[in-house]
Chains A and B, each alone.
Chain A
Amino acid sequence: AQSVSQHNHHVILSEAASLELGCNYSYGGTVNLFWYVQYPGQHLQLLLKYFSGDPLVKGIKGFEAEFIKSKFSFNLRKPSVQWSDTAEYFCAFRNTGGFKTIFGAGTRLFVKA
């Protein structure tokens, strides 16, 4: 079955620390990959996406993610987090021949000021 695994359910960091959130998907074919962010009390917003081309994708607010096909991974990174990055982050993928987007369970990030 197609699924997304996010390695950490909760992450606590201090401001200026570096962030890496793990994401692995299970599907053998071509995929589109996404990271969404949900700030407290708000709806999901697209952070970045990968469709094709350069596997290193840059998104909003200094976030980036790297698609490593051989590892079925799409980890999210940010060199220096801010308190305002406190949110829940969801990794998702869609196989290019299908119609449904599969979401991971989410990682709650708390950044201490």
Chain B
Amino acid sequence: NAGVTQTPKFQVLKTGQSMTLQCAQDMNHNSMYWYRQDPGMGLRLIYYSASEGTTDKGEVPNGYNVSRLNKREFSLRLESAAPSQTSVYFCASSVSREGQETQYFGPGTRLLVL
């Protein structure tokens, strides 16, 4: 199993450009998440998808959109990038059994917006 994979690993954008971050998991997990990690702030939830076909906003959804393409894939789109979106983005997936849920993380995408 590859676990959770993310592409690209690095990206540099100019303000106003758009891009899509890709995430895929091969663990047959129902739930998937997008976080951003900023120094001194830990991980903040952008969007999540409890199951295929559903998405919900997290703590910091402004400026982002998501698509749960199928059970495996969950993409994050920046329509018009801003310097404040410079961050490391992590995708995660999880499965819940009897109320017990553990998240597994991808390797991250480092995004720099100039």
Please count how many residues in chain A sit with their CB below 8 Å of the partner chain's CB atoms: 23
Contact across chains for B105 and A105 when beta carbons are under 8 A apart = no
CA–CA, A60 and B66, complex, Å: 34
Contact of A100 among B45, B106, B107 (CB under 8 A): B45
Contact across chains for B100 and A32 when beta carbons are under 8 A apart = yes
Binary B-proximity of A91-104 (CB < 8 A = 1, otherwise 0): 01010100111011
Contact across chains for A101 and B103 when beta carbons are under 8 A apart = yes
Contact across chains for B43 and A99 when beta carbons are under 8 A apart = no
When distances are taken between beta carbons in the complex, the residues of chain B under 8 Å from A9 are: 40
A51 proximal to B (CB < 8 A): yes
CA–CA, A76 and B67, complex, Å: 36
Contact across chains for A100 and B58 when beta carbons are under 8 A apart = yes
Contact across chains for A44 and B105 when beta carbons are under 8 A apart = yes
Contact of B108 among A34, A43, A46, A96 (CB under 8 A): A43
Contact across chains for B42 and A90 when beta carbons are under 8 A apart = yes
A70 proximal to B (CB < 8 A): no
A45 proximal to B (CB < 8 A): yes
Contact across chains for A96 and B40 when beta carbons are under 8 A apart = no
When distances are taken between beta carbons in the complex, the residues of chain B under 8 Å from A4 are: 42
Binary B-proximity of A1-25 (CB < 8 A = 1, otherwise 0): 0001000010000000000000000
Contact across chains for B42 and A104 when beta carbons are under 8 A apart = yes
* Closest partner residue, chain B, to A9 (CB atom): B40
When distances are taken between beta carbons in the complex, the residues of chain B under 8 Å from A36 are: 105
Contact across chains for A46 and B45 when beta carbons are under 8 A apart = no
Give the residues from 69 to 96 in chain B that come closer than 8 angstroms, CB to CB, to chain A.
90, 92
Contact across chains for B90 and A44 when beta carbons are under 8 A apart = yes
CA–CA, A32 and B97, complex, Å: 13
When distances are taken between beta carbons in the complex, the residues of chain A under 8 Å from B101 are: 32, 94, 101
CA–CA, A92 and B45, complex, Å: 12
Residue of A34, A44, A105 contacting most chain B CB atoms (<10 Å): A44
Given A44-B105, A46-B102: 4 more A-B contacts, CB < 8 Å:
A36-B105, A43-B90, A43-B107, A44-B90
Binding site for A on B (CB under 8 A): 31, 35, 40-45, 48, 50, 56, 58, 90, 92, 99-108
